[in-house]
Chain A
């Protein structure tokens, strides 16, 4: 015998008896409005607590995202290298020497450029027949420039022997007057420099 339950009550006497007795066993219904009024502060507190919780969770999530983003950006490799300033008085190995070499190279390149420009100016003034000695003179000028930038033995260099201006130009080579040195070297070459 299969009994099918549905929403209808009272299809069987036993169901009617059970329903009656169980409902009689249940407590009497009271005033729902009174209960609701008594519960109102509790309801409001619960809603505020939930809203505060939602706000707190949102703020915490934002803080986590911000912290994560900051950590990711901070952990990235540095794109710049801090190099201490070059100390000209006491040459030291390592980055300073590299920097000194770079400066020398840069200065030499600059001096060569200036010398070339001066040579070009000289070439404009002088006839083409004297272009070869001037080319060597400019080379000598650049050589004295490089020795001048090294700061040692510039006065003893063969290019500057017998010419005080050569030594002066060697020491002042780093100031970028190598062009004039080249012209002077060429001039001194005319005056009887060792190269000549």
Chain B
């Protein structure tokens, strides 16, 4: 705490970090399928928030800002990965590109991976981190109606798969 006070950081950054770090990592791990990518994204988002904490601390939902930044980081990560994969394909490399999958923890995760990214993100934030529709809309920068649509579509898709024996 002394080091933090010396650095001039607001006191509630630590509380925000402790309250939201692991829920974010867990939900984004389910969303993206890679725990390391999710943890890096959340840590990077908290790092950015720490540098701007004097301003972000005045927000209504500072954790929402962090969640939004982390989602963008994950999106950028997979966008770069996709560009790299396409570049390798263009070069004619025959090496098979493998993406680290999610940790084997349940049957629903492979099913979740079949959903579009928006639905997968909304589902993971809603069911894992237990975010509200408003928080999800803030994190994904879409309207609450769009969040409800994605949740409804993902839920309808997974319903038959989960119910199947």
A residues in contact (CB < 8 Å) with B: 3-7, 9, 14-15, 17-19, 21-27, 29-30, 32-33, 35-36, 39-40, 42-44, 46-47, 49-50
Contacts and interface: CB of A to CB of B under 8 A. Distances in A.
The 3 closest A-B pairs by CB, nearest first: A26-B26, A29-B22, A25-B106
Contacts of A44: 3, 7
Nearest to B14: A36
Chain B interface, DSSP helix/strand/loop, else mixed = helix
Nearest to B20: A32
B88 interface: no
B27 A5 contact: no
Contact of B35 (A18, A27, A46): A27
Contacts of A3: 152, 155
Nearest to B54: A47
B128 A26 contact: yes
14 contacts: A18-B108, A18-B155, A22-B106, A22-B108, A22-B127, A25-B108, A26-B29, A29-B23, A32-B17, A35-B21, A40-B4, A44-B3, A46-B48, A47-B8
Contacts of A42: 43, 47
**Interface size class, chain B:** 35 or more
A36 B9 CA distance: 13
